[in-house]
Amino acid sequence: MNIVVLDGLAANPGDLSWEPLKELGHCVVYDRTAPDELLQRAAGAEALLTNKTVLTATDMEQLPDLRYIGVLATGYNVVDIEAARQRGIVVTNIPAYSTSSVAQMVFAHLLYITQRVGHYACENHGGRWVRSLDFCYWDTPLIELAGKRMGIVGLGNTGMAAARIALAMGMEVVAYTSKSASDLPHGIRPCTMDELFSTSDVVSLHCPLTEDTRELVNAARLSTMKPTAILINTGRGPLVNEADLAEALNTGTIMAAGLDVLAQEPPREDNPLFGARNCFITPHIAWATVEARTRLLSQAVENLRSYMAGTPINNVAQ
């Protein structure tokens, strides 16, 4: 088996091992692969593993030996699935490996916004507390989450994990979901999208990116939210119209936003959210805990091993 990992650096920058994968065949791992390097590097490979490197129908036509594509992520939009299906190429993904880590990031952003621990730590390293006339000081709103309403858009694995954390913190949870009320755990109430945005103190996005959900959060939707509301997006960047969100933050239409994803990654320098008021952005790292990446690589190996045994699992090209 000739195996090529096209862009392994993100999943494994050196703190994990590729050895279990290399035990399955001759394996070459590239940190990154540019579009003009793809065909040369993939030539002769039966199995390609990709994270963000795009594999098109044209690419597959020029790779006659290709029989298997393993996506090192849950989302698999980087692969032309229909083209793979027509050519009999198995395409696998890694479901649910980062559920706990992404839900944790939701609350990392939310707690940073409501408590501003980083802000006060920096102030104190600069000597502000030492110079204080009182035993304490604060210059930002400090917000208790217990009793607040959290609206979750999409109750898949990650949305449900975030909901459980919210309930544990004493929050009220409403959700926009296709699940019926009888199928939801105690404490989670289904509601309409309009009710969710207009009544929630915190809105967290966990729905897939489709044509129906693209720019779900736009000027019209933001205008219905509370001026004290917080938006969290650890899902997909294009769920949000970034210019509209920047305007809403700068005009006080909503209070704050915590984002781990943007519509273009890496983003443009002139992205309006970088200068927006109370906008806190992390570089798409919710998935990247060592625990989540360990699960990812382990499942990637198991996916390929199962394919080699003639019993593919997590095949999204069926």
d(CA 176, CA 86) in angstroms, rounded, equals 35
Rounded (5°) CA angle 36-40-42: 105
One domain, residues 117 and 249: yes
| 314 part of a folded domain | no
Average pLDDT over residues 300-318: 97
State pLDDT tens for residues 8-18: 999 999 999 99
CB 113 within 8 A of CB 282: no
Helix, strand, or coil here: 47? strand
Counting beta carbons within 10 angstroms of the beta carbon of residue 147, is it exposed (0 to 12), middle (13 to 18) or buried (19 or more)? Answer: exposed
pLDDT at position 26: 97
Q: Which of 67, 284, 302, 305 is catalytic?
A: 284
Number of C-alpha atoms within 13 angstroms, CB side, residue 311?
3
Query: What gap in Å lies between CA 272 and CA 77, rounded to an integer?
Result: 26
CB 232 within 8 A of CB 280: no
Q: Which two tokens stand for residue 40?
A: 């040369």
Average pLDDT over residues 45-59: 98
Q: Compute the mean pLDDT over every residue in the chain, rounded to the nearest whole number.
A: 97
Q: Is the same domain home to 251 and 264?
A: yes
Domain count, the chain: 2
How is residue 169 written in tokens? 């913190």
Annotated active-site residue 284? The verdict is yes
pLDDT tens digits along 112-163: 999 999 999 999 999 999 999 999 999 999 999 999 999 999 999 999 999 9
**Does residue 135 sit within a domain?**
yes
Helices (H), the chain: 19-22, 38-42, 57-61, 81-86, 99-115, 117-125, 157-168, 193-199, 219-222, 242-250, 290-308
Helix (H, G, I), strand (E, B) or coil at 260: coil
Kindly report, residue by residue over 250-291, the tens digit of the pLDDT: 999 999 999 999 999 999 999 999 999 999 999 999 999 999
Rounded to whole angstroms, how far apart are CA atoms 127 and 57?
59
- Do 118 and 140 share a structural domain? yes
Residues 120 and 150 in one domain: yes
Task: Indicate if 293 belongs to the active site.
Answer: no
Residue 222's domain spans which residues?
Answer: 99-281
**Residues 124 and 32 grouped into a single domain:** no
10 Å CB burial of residue 238 (0-12, 13-18, 19+) is middle
Q: Could you tell me the two tokens for 64?
A: 């006659």
Whether residue 126 is found in the same domain as residue 228? yes
Residue 236 a catalytic site member: yes
**Catalytic one of 206, 221, 236, 295:** 236
Do 257 and 133 have their domain in common? yes
- Angle (CA) 63-311-47 rounded to 5° is 20
Confidence tier at 226 by pLDDT (50, 70, 90)? very high
- Asked if residue 318 is part of any domain, the answer here is no
Give mean pLDDT, residues 34-38.
97
Q: Does residue 154 share a domain with residue 296?
A: no
313 in a domain, yes or no?
no
The two structure tokens encoding residue 104: 């944790």
| Residue 299 backbone class (left: φ over 0; alpha: ψ -120 to 50; beta: rest) | alpha
Q: Which of 23, 37, 144, 265 is catalytic?
A: 265
- The domain that contains 45 carries what CATH number? 3.40.50.720
Kindly report the pTM of this predicted structure.
0.94
> Residue 192 — pLDDT band, cuts 50, 70, 90?
very high
User: Are residues 156 and 35 part of one domain?
Assistant: no
Same domain, 185 and 46: no
